[in-house]
């Protein structure tokens, strides 16, 4: 199975900070990686698909990038509503696998 | 507007069965693969199963193979998850999701609690 390693597991940052979350794949998955924002009591919200594409309705301060087997979700200027757990998902092959998540808090 | 509405959750004893349903609307259901994703209490997201747009192919995570069955009724735009031989570790919120570029739409989720 493909393992996705997310780092850090948790972090806190200040409003307006630039924040980058990382997801490393144990095998090649091309660009078949997506990112989700998950808040308590709500379903996960798609943020990025195919590694770099912004999902519908997602603010432009979010972006996705790839360098080899390392994938990043970047928030250019952190806002209070961005507090959540962020998960990456590989959908290149079955079984589909999620990373363990990064908990992002505001200082 | 795409909507996915799950139903059928609740409390069930270990070893018993439960069937979840997901009513879809706002898109052409039979054009899309569909999936179930779960989240156990205080744990991360886990993919459970996927079914192809026409129902001809199904995929499962190892821990549910032989116990869970994903199916669909395209005439009713409804997705199902039949869960048999339930275990305490199956306790989770189960989400129905449209499987496009990962999962592009999600239902609100339904809680399944397996306990005696």
Q: What are phi and psi of B49, to 5 degrees?
A: -165, 155
pLDDT recorded at residue B51: 98
- Cβ of B47 within 8 Å of Cβ of A100? The answer is no
The whole-number pLDDT of residue A38 equals 98
Q: Give whole-number Cα distances, A60 to A85, A88, A105, B73, B103, in Å.
A: 19, 19, 20, 38, 20
pLDDT in tens, chain A (107 residues): 999 999 999 999 999 999 999 999 999 999 999 999 999 999 999 999 999 999 999 999 999 999 999 999 999 999 999 999 999 999 999 999 999 999 999 99
Instruction: Determine whether the interchain pair B47/A98 forms a contact, defined as Cβ–Cβ distance below 8 Å.
Output: yes
Cβ atoms A2, A90 nearer than 8 A: yes
Residues of A in Cβ contact (< 8 Å) with B61: 95
DSSP string, A74-85: EESS--GGG-EE
Whether residues A101 and B44 touch (CB distance < 8 A) is answered with: yes
What's the mean pLDDT when you consider all of chain B? 98
> pLDDT band at B37, cuts 50/70/90?
very high
């Amino acid at each position: 199975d493909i393992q996705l390693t997310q780092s850090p597991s948790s972090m806190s940052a200040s409003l307006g900070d630039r924040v980058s979350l990382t997801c490393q794949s144990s095998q090649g998955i091309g660009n078949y990686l997506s990112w989700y924002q998950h808040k308590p009591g709500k379903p996960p919200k798609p943020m990025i698909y195919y590694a770099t594409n912004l999902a519908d309705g997602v603010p432009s301060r979010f972006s996705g990038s790839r360098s080899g087997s390392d994938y990043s979700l970047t928030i250019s200027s952190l806002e209070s509503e961005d507090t959540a757990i962020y998960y990456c998902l590989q959908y290149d092959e079955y079984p589909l696998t999620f990373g363990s998540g990064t908990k992002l808090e505001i200082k | 507007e795409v909507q996915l509405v799950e139903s059928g959750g609740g409390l069930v004893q270990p070893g018993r069965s439960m069937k979840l349903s997901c009513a879809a609307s706002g898109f052409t259901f039979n054009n899309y693969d569909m999936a179930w994703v779960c989240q156990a209490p205080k744990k991360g997201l886990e993919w459970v199963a996927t079914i192809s747009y026409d129902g001809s192919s199904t995929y499962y995570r190892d821990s549910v193979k032989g116990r869970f069955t994903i199916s669909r009724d395209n005439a009713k735009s409804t997705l199902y998850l039949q869960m048999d031989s339930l275990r305490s570790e199956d306790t989770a919120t189960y989400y129905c999701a449209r499987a496009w570029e990962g999962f592009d739409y999600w239902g609100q989720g339904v809680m399944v609690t397996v306990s005696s």
